[in-house]
Amino acid sequence: MLRPVNMSRVVVAGSKDVISPVVEKLHELRLLHIVNYNGNQPGFEIGKSIGKSKEYSEDLIKLRSITRYLDLKNKAPDKTFPESQILSEMDNLLNNVGADVIATYERITAIEAEVKSKQDTIRSLNPLAVLPLPLESYHGYDSLATFVGTVTSPVDADVARVSPAHEIYTGSAKNATQVAVFVPAEKASEVSAVLSEHGFSETSVPKLEGNVASAIAAQESSIKSLEAEKAPLLKKLADIKKQNEDLMLATDEYLSMQTQKTEAPLRFAVTENAFIIDGYVPSDQFSRLKNELESTTGGKLEVSLIADKEAEELVEKGEDIPSQMDNPSVVKPYELITRLFAIPEYKEFDPSLLIFVFFPIMFGMILGDVGYGIMILLILLGLKKKFRTPGWQQLINVVMIGGVWAVIFGIFYGEIFGPLGLWNYAIGMLTHHEMAALQEAGLFFGEGVFGSLGRLGPLGVFPLYRLATNAVLLLIGVSLFIGVVHCSVGSICGIKTELNYGEKKHAYFERLPVMLFQVFFSIALLGLVMGQSILTYLGIIVVVLSVVMLVMGPEGPMGLAHVPSYISNLISYLRLLAIGLASVGLAYAANQLAFYVIMPMLSGGAHNSAEFSMLAIIVGIVILVAVHFINLLLGILSPFMHPLRLHYVEMFTKFYSAHGGGVEYSPFGHVRRFLKA
Amino acid sequence: MAVVADAGTLYGLLAVGAGLATGLAGIGAGVGEQGIGAAVVGVVAEEPGFLGKGLFLMLLPETLIIFGLAVSLILMFAWTPFAGIVTP
């Protein structure tokens, strides 16, 4: 569970005339992770594709362009198809339906382009509306220069100065003055210079006729008719999509599978009469692979295992052993978190199980509220039905398990929608009189430590009240404790990983001292807090010892530079308390505001909930719902991201991916989703 | 040892110190996150799949606030020993 599946290096060698049945069988078995042949061995060439490879790829490209026009996204299958149905319907789908889709789509784009150009025309016509000229009088002159545009100050006098023969039309638009200036062509450059002194900025005049208002109206009406043509086309595309969605995805799957099969030999090494496939197979599946392949080909093929020593040499030459994570189904969702960081290398630990243990506890510890936990579970149950792709399902499962822990911690903390929330109504609160009695008996550690439940729960501590001083102190201790355990587990994995790679010095003088340092540093702290000086001294001695070991380690005195980060690693776990406090604080504020400020205020200073007016209750509930909703959103995001960070930064750095990410085991074959087996 | 202030004032000063510790650390973290946030938005615009990693990167500087908070907690809860030293 903590390690990737054992892999064996195999070689499949056979006669070239059985290459297609072998590919077919391998594809069906989905066992062999093929190592691509790089063409470097003398005497062996890279294989050529078999069968109708070119046709399949062409069809696939055609299909993909159709699905892109339809904006078809991959989704969970609603129905599955037998291959024979795909074969019989593929031609119609690709040619008739496809041509229809492409034509419709192209018409839509053409309409959109035309509408856009008409809108541009309208935009340039608008400023001309203030001038008293019909559109045809702006162009078509040989001996006249025309300037149309806006100016910031009157131009008549200056234009008259440089060109006595002129005609100027002026109209005032919103922010500027629109002018049309007509002068003899030979005066054009002088007039242009004069105009630019007045801040002239040119307006382009569309080559149309008639008056401006009617030209705009004509453009608008043709836009309207174009839009009217577009609407049914869009609907047609949507209909085609709805009708053929599953069939298209199934065809895509079929064609992908066929291309994969026909192009497989490109990854093999071939000679004139034989072919060789290198690859990895999970060790316990080797005999199955061997039997299945050899029985299909009737002895024209040899499947052999490569000895460990030779395999090791191949790895040293740069071959990656694929890793397949192997976890029980409850832990599976947490592989998502591992994968987000890196695939474990073959010799490394697969941390999914550790994440499964720690992550939900951290999530629950931060959120810790029965009400929020149940809300999250309900919301996610809804989402689970809606988002059915494997990635979403995994993510939802991860958060759901966290939600269960949030409920459990909520009971420890005595919170239903925050302290002062429903808990007091549901379970009751300690009276002042009883608190005094506890204080006398020496059992009272500050208000709220015994929580709103008031009675002694397990250990005489729960439910605690997170905002109380003593509860904060207790939770600091718990957070640091979780931190020490978490980091130590990471360090132990780190030591074992280094040993797996045969790096003894790194294991004992780089990984081990970190663990010793962190564990005994916190033991020293514990000694200080509890006043047990023996613990403190023991802690300090081992901390010093571990620092000495670090200096003796591979990094030498430079290793000392990391020491502060080991302490900050531990302090970082205080976020388990801190993020939680922030969310409790907000929930507390919401309840306080609604029950003790808004509701009494709006009902004229009443203190008893029975005296609250209807309005007060409604406004109070609106405020409660709004603030708790915001808090719940934050309450899903922060408790998820912060433990994630604790894993990636604090724990994984101790053991994971020190040697670079691994390669995922992806056996040759295809998972059938839309196709019947 | 000279008595600097009465217990109430001292407690008030401690509270101000605690507030500054968390508050200034928060500003620091905010400044750090500002650059990361802008970069992440840029990357997500190009490649939406990066959102998860981006959100996670955004969180890295938040450790600073935790340190500030740790200092605040120490200040607030170290009140009793301090009072013992300073009060006459």
Residue A392 CB-half CA count within 13 A: 12
DSSP secondary structure of A418-443: STTSHHHHHH----HHHHHHHHHTT-
In angstroms, rounded to a whole number, what is the distance separating the alpha carbons of residues A486 and A659?
21
Minimal-distance CA residue of chain B relative to A578: B66
Contact of B69 with chain A, judged by CB distance below 8 Å, is answered with yes
Would you state the pLDDT for residue A443? Answer: 54
Question: What residues of chain A lie within 8 A of the CB of B50, using their CB?
Answer: none
Q: Among A492, A659, A660, A650, which Cα is nearest to A2's?
A: A492
In angstroms, rounded to a whole number, what is the distance separating the alpha carbons of residues A613 and A10?
80
Minimal-distance CA residue of chain B relative to A640: B56
Minimal-distance CA residue of chain B relative to A395: B52
Residue ranges in chain B modelled with pLDDT below 70: 1-5, 77-88
Would you state the pLDDT for residue A420? Answer: 59
Per the CB < 8 Å rule, is B77 touching A641? Answer: no
Q: What are phi and psi of A43, to 5 degrees?
A: 90, -15
> Is A279 within 8 Å of A10 (Cβ atoms)?
yes
Question: What residues of chain A lie within 8 A of the CB of B65, using their CB?
Answer: 578
Per the CB < 8 Å rule, is A575 touching B66? Answer: yes
| Interface with chain B: mutation pick from A395, A571, A573, highest number of B CBs within 10 Å | A571
User: Which residue is associated with the tokens 């973290």?
Assistant: B29
Would you state the pLDDT for residue A439? Answer: 61
Per the CB < 8 Å rule, is A571 touching B53? Answer: no
Would you state the pLDDT for residue B80? Answer: 52
Residue ranges in chain A modelled with pLDDT below 70: 420-463, 469-470, 607-609, 657-660
Would you state the pLDDT for residue B83? Answer: 40
Would you state the pLDDT for residue A451? Answer: 46
Would you state the pLDDT for residue A199? Answer: 84
Q: Among A102, A91, A108, A92, which Cα is nearest to A66's?
A: A102
In angstroms, rounded to a whole number, what is the distance separating the alpha carbons of residues A320 and A310?
14
Contact of B70 with chain A, judged by CB distance below 8 Å, is answered with yes
Minimal-distance CA residue of chain A relative to B53: A340
Residue B47 Cα, gap to closest chain A Cα (Å):
15
Residue A262 Cα, gap to closest chain B Cα (Å):
31
The structural domains of chain B, with segments of one domain joined by +, span 9-77
Reported residue count of chain B is 88
Q: If you count residue pairs, one on A and one on B, with CB atoms under 8 Å apart, how many are there?
A: 36
Contact of A531 with chain B, judged by CB distance below 8 Å, is answered with no
SS (H, E, C) A54-91: HHHHHHHHHHHHHHHHCCCCCCCCCCCECHHHHHHHHH
Per the CB < 8 Å rule, is A476 touching B73? Answer: yes
Per the CB < 8 Å rule, is A568 touching B59? Answer: no
H or E segment at A182? strand A177-184
Q: Among A360, A588, A363, A571, which Cα is nearest to A466's?
A: A588
The CATH number assigned to the domain with range B9-77 reads 1.20.20.10
Q: Report the residue from A472, A578, A641 with minimal CB separation from B56.
A: A641
Residue B62 Cα, gap to closest chain A Cα (Å):
9
ipTM of the complex: 0.76
Question: What residues of chain B lie within 8 A of the CB of A642, using their CB?
Answer: 59, 62
In angstroms, rounded to a whole number, what is the distance separating the alpha carbons of residues A258 and A260?
5
Contact of B23 with chain A, judged by CB distance below 8 Å, is answered with no
- Locate A589 and state its tokens: 């504020």
Q: Which CATH architecture has domain A140-204?
A: 2-Layer Sandwich (3.30)
> Strand, coil or helix: what is A35?
strand
Would you state the pLDDT for residue A209? Answer: 82
The structural domains of chain A, with segments of one domain joined by +, span 7-47+268-323, 140-204, 332-430+447-465+575-655, 474-572
Q: Among A650, A578, A581, which Cα is nearest to A355's?
A: A650
Contact of B55 with chain A, judged by CB distance below 8 Å, is answered with yes
| Interface with chain A: mutation pick from B33, B55, B62, highest number of A CBs within 10 Å | B62
- Domains A7-47+268-323 and A140-204 equal at CATH topology level: yes
User: What does the DSSP 8-state code read for residue A675?
Assistant: B
Contact of A476 with chain B, judged by CB distance below 8 Å, is answered with yes
Per the CB < 8 Å rule, is B62 touching A575? Answer: yes
Q: Does domain A7-47+268-323 have CATH number 3.40.50.300?
A: no
- Locate A353 and state its tokens: 């199980």
User: Could you give the angle at the alpha carbon of A259 between the alpha carbons of A292 and A247, nearest 5°?
Assistant: 100
Question: What residues of chain A lie within 8 A of the CB of B59, using their CB?
Answer: 641-642, 644-645
Would you state the pLDDT for residue A310? Answer: 83
Residue A472 Cα, gap to closest chain B Cα (Å):
9
Residue A84 Cα, gap to closest chain B Cα (Å):
36
Would you state the pLDDT for residue A480? Answer: 92
Question: What residues of chain A lie within 8 A of the CB of B69, using their CB?
Answer: 574, 578
Q: Report the residue from B52, B60, B69 with minimal CB separation from A340.
A: B52
Minimal-distance CA residue of chain A relative to B51: A340
